[in-house]
Amino acid sequence: MYSTALYSLFCLVLATPLNALPEPLDAHIQKRTPCSGNTPSTRDQWCDFDIHTDYYVAVPETGVTREYWLEISEVVIALDGVERFAQAINGTIPGIVVVHLTSNLKHSTNGSSFHFHGTHQNYTNPQDGVVAITQCPTAPGSSVTYKWRATQYGTSWYHSHFGLQTYDGVYGGLIIHGPASANYDEDMGTIMISDWSHRTANQLLPEVQRKGPATMDNVLINGTNVFGNDGEEDQVGERFSMNFKEGKTYRLRLINVGIDTLYKFSIDHHTLKVIAVDFVSIKPYETDHVSLAIGERMDILVTANQASKASSFWLRTVPQMDCSRHAHPENALGIVHYGSNNSIPTTTGRTFEDKCIDEPYESLVPVVPRDVGPPDNHFEQNANRTWNEDGIIKWSLNSTSMVAEWGHPSLLKLHTNASFAPSNAVIRIPKPNSWVYLAIETNLDISHPIHLHGFDFQILAQGTGPYGRNVTLKTDNPPRRDTAVLPALGHLVIAFLTDNPGVWLMHCHIGWHAAEGFSLQFIVREDEILGLVSDQEARDMQQGCKAWNEFTHEMEMEQDDSGI
């Protein structure tokens, strides 16, 4: 049941992880010669475009289609040497980039879907891949095809948007090539960082729902790590490693794909140059470490100029215990080797404050500037946590813990003129090309990575303390991204332009919190949405929902989470 494909802006490629497991199924990739002009000394060029091209208004017509097939299956796998049940994409964790999804979960009650994180899905809302919002879950044995045009470039990932399925292995990297704001010699691809338990996410969930986040057993870097102490015979698994050549500059594409952890990334003795956050190229700045919240991406350059110090260096992805629980945080390590050397590093790491915050606000200056106009709509949301009558934790925004129905997604409700319940947490914004300001604050000592679908947002303010008149809003080319941290005991104020009709989800990207209701949905330019849904898309959505509802009836399944 395979039909169509993926349309690409610049050059969409497989994000094949270093140290990845072999791929048992072929990916069908249309080859294309790289753009002329994009060389190690001219990375700011790409075909007839450059780093200053405003990709919000100038979108190339490449005429190139990329097409990939994917199958989700159940596996027993030992990513850190300890076997456990997981769900894999074409047999691998992380998986490959795909558009055709086949669910082959024969022994599971999981549905599935795919969301391409951070992609705008301009005027292609049905392709956003969010269960209960733009589609029903794909039932085991069924297929779905996602077809969309890439209008951005940079680093991201795709993942399931059904329950906690992502965190059992259903994710992969996504690279859309384009210009860069600094030169480099070699692109090392994606480095996906994830927290990992030796139990499945659904096995952990009942405890988490009553007591809060679980203690994670390990950290995986591109799907691998060791478990146990270095030098001891009972250590199992394999560390992530990469090789540098003295004098060369490398691009690393960092992605946090975890369920509950913010990381601080560094390489001993090396300086990091940050050139992009999420899908936004920024003016480069240098640092010795970067903070990476769940769902966030960061493109960094590292120059191999430390051969006089050592021949191997620890690569550190330090989980911040300020907002997560880890049994072995000291084991969140990979290795950078110079040349063919394969020794165990003896280098010492730097000391950082253990705190769950984003990169410094003033450091994130977009290369392509966009100022923010005055608000046509201004919303304020308070994030809070309560326990229901059954002792189950519920997260809420303005006292609403969102529940969206698996079998009746919002887009289908619009198609059938069905009504929305208050628990669906709907905010309607009818006016085109208007500015929306959204202030989120929390009185709890817990931070949250906030992700908005369908748009980049501008960060007008971000800090500790309540949101009020004393908070200054930056509107002249503020930081721009699609995921940002709401600080503990603090506020996050974002703005976005309603230039993309659709039903768009906003949620905390901590997996537990999303399942417990920390989300809302914007219905943007409702009068235009149905006109953008083709007859084929409407039929596919209805057929997918019919298959899912028949499956849940047969399995006597009941929805037990927020739906997303």
> Nearest CA to 10 among 252, 174, 190, 255?
174
Report which of residues 35 and 282 the model is more confident about: 282
Q: Each residue of 496-505: pLDDT tens digit?
A: 999 999 999 9
Whether 182 and 43 have beta carbons less than 8 Å apart is answered as yes
Least confident of 48-62, 317-331, 470-484: 48-62
> Please, is 106 exposed, middle or buried when counting C-beta atoms within 10 Å of its C-beta (0-12, 13-18, 19+)?
exposed
Q: Each residue of 282-338: pLDDT tens digit?
A: 999 999 999 999 999 999 999 999 999 999 999 999 999 999 999 999 999 999 999
186-363 against 377-534: fold identical: yes
Strands 249-256, 186-196: parallel, antiparallel or unpaired by DSSP? Answer: parallel
User: pLDDT band at residue 38, thresholds of 50, 70 and 90?
Assistant: confident
Q: Give the pLDDT mean for 257-285.
A: 98
Least confident of 22-26, 120-124, 284-288, 536-540: 22-26
Q: What confidence score (pLDDT) does residue 233 get?
A: 84
pLDDT higher than 60, residue 101: no
User: pLDDT band at residue 532, thresholds of 50, 70 and 90?
Assistant: very high
Q: What confidence score (pLDDT) does residue 90 get?
A: 77
> Please, is 191 exposed, middle or buried when counting C-beta atoms within 10 Å of its C-beta (0-12, 13-18, 19+)?
buried
pLDDT higher than 90, residue 99: no
Cβ count near 273 (within 10 Å): 18
User: pLDDT band at residue 411, thresholds of 50, 70 and 90?
Assistant: very high
Domain boundaries, the chain: 186-363, 377-534
Least confident of 144-153, 206-215, 466-475: 144-153
Q: Give the pLDDT mean for 242-264.
A: 97
Q: Each residue of 23-33: pLDDT tens digit?
A: 333 333 344 45
Cα–Cα distance between 44 and 42 in angstroms, integer? 5
Q: What confidence score (pLDDT) does residue 448 get?
A: 98
Cα–Cα distance between 216 and 260 in angstroms, integer? 9
Rounded-to-5 percentages of helix, strand, coil across the chain: 10, 35, 50
pLDDT higher than 50, residue 468: yes
Report which secondary-structure segment, H or E, holds 381: strand 377-387
Report which of residues 39 and 248 the model is more confident about: 248
> Nearest CA to 508 among 405, 401, 376?
401
Q: What confidence score (pLDDT) does residue 110 get?
A: 74
Q: Give the pLDDT mean for 57-79.
A: 75
Q: What confidence score (pLDDT) does residue 66 get?
A: 72
Report which of residues 490 and 103 the model is more confident about: 490
Q: Give the pLDDT mean for 514-525.
A: 98
Q: What confidence score (pLDDT) does residue 12 get?
A: 40
- The single-letter DSSP state of residue 343 is P
pLDDT higher than 60, residue 388: yes
pLDDT higher than 70, residue 217: yes
**Which top CATH class is 377-534?**
mainly beta
Task: Tell me the residue type at 284.
Answer: P
pLDDT higher than 60, residue 163: yes
- The single-letter DSSP state of residue 20 is P
* b (16+ CB within 10 A) / e for 303-335: bbebeeebbbbbbbbbbbeebbebebbebbbbb
| Domain spanning 186-363: CATH superfamily | Cupredoxins -  blue copper proteins (2.60.40.420)
Q: What confidence score (pLDDT) does residue 290 get?
A: 98
* Token pair of 126 as six digits: 């049905």
Q: What confidence score (pLDDT) does residue 95 get?
A: 63
Average pLDDT of the residues of the chain: 89
Cβ count near 91 (within 10 Å): 15
Specify the pTM.
Answer: 0.91
Report which of residues 362 and 22 the model is more confident about: 362
Percent of the chain with pLDDT over 70: 90
Whether 52 and 178 have beta carbons less than 8 Å apart is answered as no
First to last CA, the chain: 25
User: pLDDT band at residue 455, thresholds of 50, 70 and 90?
Assistant: very high
> Nearest CA to 244 among 349, 334, 330, 350?
334
Percent of the chain with pLDDT over 90: 74
User: pLDDT band at residue 7, thresholds of 50, 70 and 90?
Assistant: very low
CB under 8 Å, gap of 24 or more: what pairs does 415-418 form? 415/530, 415/533, 415/538, 415/541
pLDDT higher than 60, residue 262: yes
Report which secondary-structure segment, H or E, holds 336: strand 333-338
Highest mean pLDDT among 74-83, 88-97, 418-427: 418-427
Least confident of 29-33, 450-454, 482-486, 533-537: 29-33
Is residue 341 helix, strand or coil?
coil
